[in-house]
Structure 1
Amino acid sequence: MKERNHLIDFNEISDHASFVNQITSLFNIPSGSSIRLRVNLGREKFLYSDFLLLLISSIKCLKSKNIKVNGLIEDFSLDSPQAQYASRVNFFRLLGLNLYEKFPRKDPSGRFTEITFFDKDNIRQVFDSIMKILLVNGVNEDMLTVLNFCLYEVLDNTLNHSSEEFKYGAGSGFSCAQFFPRNHEVRIIIADTGQGIYSALTKHPKSKFKDLTEGEAVLRSVDKGVTNSEGMGFGLWATAEMMKKNQGDFIVHSGNYQLNNFELHQVPYWQGTFTFLRINTNIPVNYIEIFGENSDQLDMFQEYKEEFFGDFDQLW
Structure 2
Amino acid sequence: MPHQISVLIDFNHISSQHDLLEAFTQLNHLKPGDELELQIDLNGTGFIYPDLLLLLVARIECLKRNDIKVICSMVNFNPNSDRANYASRINFFEIIGIELEEDFTRLDRQGRFIEISKFNETNINTVFAEIMRILIVNGVNEDMLTVLNFCLYEVLDNTLNHSSPEFRYGAGTGFVVAQFFPRSQEIRIIIADTGQGIHAALTGHPKSRFIDLSEPEAVTRCIERGVTNSLGLGFGLWATSEMMSKNKGDFIIYSGGSCLRNGTLYQTPHWRGTINYLRINTNISVNYKEIFGEDSDQLDMFQEFKESQFGNLENLW
In the superposition, the TM-score normalised over structure 2's length comes to 0.98
Cross-structure match for 1:289: 290
Counting aligned pairs with the same residue, the percent is 59
Counterparts in 2 of 1:206-225, with a 5 A limit? 206-225=207-226
Worse overlay, 165-174 or 229-238: 229-238
Alpha-carbon offset, residue 313 of structure 1: 3.7
Does the residue aligned with 2:285 lie in a helix, a strand or coil? coil
Cross-structure match for 1:156: 157
| Alignment pair present for 1:55 and 2:52 | no
Cross-structure match for 1:265: 266
Report if the CA contact (8 A) 1:250-1:260 is conserved: yes
Report if the CA contact (8 A) 1:110-1:133 is conserved: yes
Counterparts in 2 of 1:234-313, with a 5 A limit? 234-313=235-314
Cross-structure match for 2:77: 76
Does the residue aligned with 1:166 lie in a helix, a strand or coil? coil
Cross-structure match for 1:11: 12
- Separation in 1 of the partners of 2:314 and 2:75? 47
Cross-structure match for 1:192: 193
Q: Please, what is the CA RMSD of the aligned residues?
A: 0.9
- Separation in 2 of the partners of 1:2 and 1:255? 25
In the superposition, the TM-score normalised over structure 1's length comes to 0.98
Alpha-carbon offset, residue 44 of structure 1: 2.3
Q: Deviation digits for residues 48-87 of structure 1, max 9, x if unmatched? A: 1110000000000000000011121111111100000000
- Separation in 2 of the partners of 1:315 and 1:29? 48
Counterparts in 2 of 1:61-100, with a 5 A limit? 61-100=62-101
Does the residue aligned with 1:182 lie in a helix, a strand or coil? coil
Stretches of structure 2 that go unaligned for 5 or more consecutive residues are none
Q: Deviation digits for residues 92-123 of structure 1, max 9, x if unmatched? A: 11012231100001111100000000000100
- Separation in 2 of the partners of 1:25 and 1:76? 22
Report if the CA contact (8 A) 1:47-1:82 is conserved: yes
For residue 183 of structure 2, what is the amino acid of its counterpart? R
Does the residue aligned with 1:114 lie in a helix, a strand or coil? strand
- Separation in 1 of the partners of 2:178 and 2:232? 25
How many residues get paired? 316
Report if the CA contact (8 A) 2:197-2:274 is conserved: yes
Alpha-carbon offset, residue 309 of structure 1: 0.8
For residue 109 of structure 1, what is the amino acid of its counterpart? Q
- Separation in 2 of the partners of 1:171 and 1:99? 30
Cross-structure match for 2:122: 121
Report if the CA contact (8 A) 1:56-1:95 is conserved: yes
Report if the CA contact (8 A) 2:161-2:171 is conserved: yes
- Separation in 2 of the partners of 1:36 and 1:97? 13
Worse overlay, 68-77 or 50-59: 68-77
Q: Deviation digits for residues 127-150 of structure 1, max 9, x if unmatched? A: 011100000000000000000000
Report if the CA contact (8 A) 1:159-1:169 is conserved: yes
